[in-house]
Each structure stands twice: as C-alpha cells, then as structure tokens.
Amino acid sequence: MSEPPSRGAERDLFRDTWVRYLGYANEVGEAFRSLVPSAVVWLSYGVSSSYVLADAIDKGKKARDALASVAIPGFTINRLCAASLYILSTATRWPLAVRKWTTTALGLLAIPVIIHPIDRSVDFLLDSSLRKLYPSVEKPSSS
C-alpha cells in the first residue's frame, strides 16, 4: 500500500486502505485457476473490475486522471501460472495435484512482487500519454 497521507491530506479509500487489495482479486483467481472452476476465476475478475470502476469513478471526480489496470496483472499471473504448470509437467514427475498446488503457490507469491513494478509502469505510460490530455494540479501518489 502507499504511504499514509500527510497530515491534513485526504485519505484515499482506494489507495490507502485494505480496499486496494480487492483490485488484485483476479490475481488470486488466476493463481487458483488450476484448482477451481472457471466461474470462480471469472468472479475474481468481477471483484477486481468493480474495484477498478469504483476507483476510476472516484479519481475521475477528483482529478480526471485515474486509470487502473486489471488486465496487466491478471495476464502476468495467468502466464506465470501457465508457464510454471507447463514446466512442472515436463520437468518433474510430481503428481498432478502437487503440480497444481505448486503453481497456485507460485502465483500467489508473485502477486506482491508484481504490484509495484506494474503500478510504476502504468503510471509512466499514463504520464507519457493520457495524463497529458487531462492536466491536474498534482500527480497522483505512487503506490
């Protein structure tokens, strides 16, 4: 999570509280993809998308420069898990259940590692493009 706002600054519900982690529900869903029905994974995308929509509306009202990403982290975890399951299937003779649980664990462990690099990359991309179209008084805080 981002650092607490300075004294007198407004606390951002979507950046400064546990609510932010709802935006990463789809990564948890992707990590569990090999163990749960597809509907559960899609539900996790619904939770993340709802978070993104609520955050975007909130930021849009405040500064008109918010854009959040569900696709990049979800795609990253999806490909990481797919690759790890493939590698474990070809390089080990572990039982399928062990390979699936190992893949899930790798996906979950990767979530905190990918959050900040993806956030910074998206911020850089937006600073270089869309945010130029929507000037604001201050740059949104980095996470």
Q: What is the pLDDT of residue 59?
A: 76
Flag whether pLDDT at 67 surpasses 50. no
Domain residue ranges of the chain, discontinuous segments joined by + = 13-133
Helix, strand, coil distribution of the chain in percent, nearest 5 = 70, 0, 30
Please give the Cα distance from 9 to 12 (Å, whole number): 9
In this predicted structure, which of 9-13, 96-100, 126-130 has the lowest mean pLDDT? 126-130
Convert the pLDDT of each residue in 86-120 to its tens digit.
Answer: 999 999 999 999 999 999 999 999 999 998 888 88
Distances (CA, A) of 21 to 13, 52, 83, 118: 11, 11, 25, 14
| pLDDT one-digit tens code per residue, 30-41 | 999 999 999 999
- Pair of tokens at residue 97: 């259940």
Report whether pLDDT(11) > 90: no
